[in-house]
Amino acid sequence: MHLGIRIGVFDSGVGGLTVLKSLQQTFPEAHFVYYADSNRAPYGTLDTETIWRYSARIVNYLLDREVDLIVVGCNTVTTEVIERLRANYAVPFVGIEPAIKPAAQSSSSKCIGILATERTLNSIGYTRTRDQYASECKVIERVGVGLVEEIEKGIIESAALNALVESFVIDFEEQSIDTLVLGCTHYVLIRSLFSRCFKNPITLMDANEAVAQRAFNLATPVKQVQQMVECYTSGSTQLLRRIIDHLEINAVTKIEQLEL
């Protein structure tokens, strides 16, 4: 049992809360500090240096809060700058990357779809993983244009979001994929919308559980405390609260606006 550990989690916005949700189950006694950079989202179209600058600012804050471990709840930050974060900070980092390896292994048709941000799909980290683990698959890659922006409005069920998801699904169905990787933590928030839009059976994959497991393997016990979740955002606290409620994240002691 990993008791009393302090874990920092961050994302460009509210998507990383899906990772926090998985971590909560794995670390029942942890103190979480979550930062959503909603005011600057999406990160997925920014250049690497800007993603680095924003990420470093958040990491500095989380270190001020004396976290023992940082979970990067953002595929874009992970695939772009996690190596640089590891080289510059002594704290252990756990990142999240599109679940391409399990998707390639479990697909029967060997035709899989990857939906992610532009930066993730163009990153060296992602292409290396794809070439290593999915060389026997046909991989259909699409940028989820507009999805993060819609989700950051805090409306998980809207006609606009529905139409957007529908358009991606039609495209993927034409390509006959049997597995779709949700390669951005924001998309995990609308997993059920994807399920509903596919007419044919589809396996949806994300890496959230794998990330929680990796964090568990890295963490060391401290002392026993009650689980506690502090949430900060550079954007709207209302939006953050709405997504926290939607995911039924419990033990939340603070939701505050914080500009870094």
Backbone Cα Rg of the chain: 18
From the candidates 74, 137, 197, 231, which is the catalytic residue? 74
At its nearest, how many Å lie between ligand DGL and the CB of residue 105? 22
* Of 5 and 59, CB closest to ligand DGL: 59
Supply the minimum distance, in Å, between the C-beta of residue 16 and ligand DGL.
6
The CB-of-66 to ligand DGL minimum distance in angstroms stands at 25
Which is closer to ligand DGL, CB of 16 or CB of 30? Answer: 16
Asked about 111 being catalytic, the answer comes back as no
Give the angle 197-202-203 at the CA atoms, nearest 5°.
125
Query: Binding residues for ligand DGL, per CB under 6 A?
Result: 11-13, 15, 41-44, 74-76, 117, 120, 148, 184-186
**Between residues 19 and 177, which has the closer beta carbon with respect to ligand DGL?**
19
Q: Which residues pair with 114 in a beta bridge?
A: 141, 181
Strand partners, 81: none
Which H/E stretch holds residue 200?
A: none
**Residue 199 C-beta: closest distance to ligand DGL, Å:** 27
Number of neighbours of residue 13 by Cβ within 10 angstroms: 29
Which are the contacts of 113, defined by CB distance < 8 A and separation ≥ 6?
139, 140, 141, 142, 172, 175, 177, 179, 180, 181
Per-residue burial over 20-41, b if 16 or more Cβ lie within 10 Å, else e, is: bbbbbebbebbbbbbbbbbebb
Q: Which of 111, 137, 184, 197 is flagged as catalytic?
A: 184
Q: Is 184 a catalytic residue?
A: yes
- Of 75 and 233, the one with the shorter C-beta distance to ligand DGL is 75
User: Measured at CB, which residue is nearest to ligand DGL?
Assistant: 44
- The set of catalytic residues is 74, 184
